[in-house]
Amino acid sequence: MRFKKLDLNLLVALDILLEQKSITRTAEKLNMSPSAVSNSLSRLREYFEDDLLTQIGRKMVITPLGENLQSQVRNALYNIESTILLQPNFEPDKTERIFSIICSDYTLTVLVPHILEIVSQQKSTARFQFLPQVENPNEQLEKGKADLLIIPTDFVSKEHPSKVIYDEKFVCVVWSESELADGKMTMERYANAGHVVMRPAPKRPNYFEKVFSNKFDLKRRIVATTFSFAILPSLVIGSDNITTVHSKLAYKMAKVWPLKILELPFELPRMQQCLQWHQYRNNDEGLIWLRGVIEEAIEKMNASHNHLTSAS
């Protein structure tokens, strides 16, 4: 198919070429021979009157025009997919779609089980791929590598629609037999204790340390770091250390581990959790269904959390 003398099939090759910056890897992605991809690149160079990708040493580097085209080509393909290729009538019990969702392991622990429960109850044949949070999750959305993001508002892109789905407070978690488990958590006890923390991606600002230093003039004594939110509560067992975690996660983990949950000795801003999708997917019936499932799952999650807090 051609549009203004451009073979639109070449846009698919261009999209992958600009992402991979490699003829060999592009050929593997498209299940084509390297010579066929090289021929496609030659035709694209001729059409745009630009190299698009330039060989420098052993690497291929995108030209300025190629960089300008990258997001435009991705959006064009996304638009075609969302308006033409997706079936207009989504049937949850007959679909073969695989939904990709980027979220933290905190979300995987407290929310995702309820999502899968509802999907099972509906006898849906949809499948799911949960992907780890990355430094710039919106880029994965724009590249079509994720259908949905479940992320805090601090990481939401202004370029795509989003919705706050719930908020969450933070609490202290200590080992039930530690000295800190007796009495209330005071600012002095909190400041003097060792802290176990989750470290985000290297370039991402650390939310907690930023709040502590700017608002409370407090620098925590960090004794251990990990890449996982969900494992944090278990790492204080057997010590007088503290971890500061999401309330829903804390109460869920306190059911299976010897932990005590304490209120923070200061007011920490609540985290707002958001759902975000690509601007071209507003009318995607599959995502509309999935967003509805997620909202129903949040109701189940909140009811379960309320039961745990009232029983503690």
Residues 138 and 276: beta-carbon distance below 8 Å: yes
Q: Predicted confidence band at 69 (pLDDT cuts at 50, 70, 90)?
A: confident
Q: Nearest CA to 284 among 116, 22, 84, 103? A: 84
The number of angstroms, rounded, from the C-alpha of 312 to the middle of its chain's C-alpha atoms is 31
Tokens linked to 231: 């494992």
Q: Predicted confidence band at 2 (pLDDT cuts at 50, 70, 90)?
A: very low
Q: Where are the alpha helices (DSSP H) in the chain?
A: 9-20, 23-30, 34-48, 64-80, 105-110, 112-121, 137-142, 187-192, 207-215, 247-253, 285-311
Residues 265-275: pLDDT tens digits? 988 889 999 99
pLDDT at residue number 303: 94
Give CA–CA dist 233/160, Å, rounded.
Answer: 34
With a cut of 60, say whether residue 4 has pLDDT above it: no
Could you tell me the domains of the chain?
2-85 (1.10.10.10), 98-167+272-311 (3.40.190.10), 170-269 (3.40.190.10)
Mean pLDDT value of segment 253-264 = 95
Opening angle at CA 139, ends 134 and 143, nearest 5: 120
**What is the chain's percent helix, strand, coil content, to nearest 5?**
45, 20, 35
Phi, psi dihedrals of residue 210, rounded to the nearest 5°: -65, -45
Mean pLDDT value of segment 39-46 = 85
Q: Terminal CA-to-CA distance of the chain, rounded, Å?
A: 64
With a cut of 90, say whether residue 242 has pLDDT above it: yes
Phi, psi dihedrals of residue 112, rounded to the nearest 5°: -60, -40
With a cut of 80, say whether residue 8 has pLDDT above it: no
Mean pLDDT value of segment 170-176 = 96
Query: What's 21's DSSP letter?
Result: -
Average pLDDT, the chain: 86
Q: Of how many residues is the chain composed?
A: 312
Helix (H) and strand (E) counts in the chain: 11, 14
Q: Nearest CA to 194 among 244, 249, 265, 234? A: 244
Q: Are strands 194-198 and 148-152 parallel, antiparallel or unpaired?
A: unpaired
pLDDT at residue number 210: 63
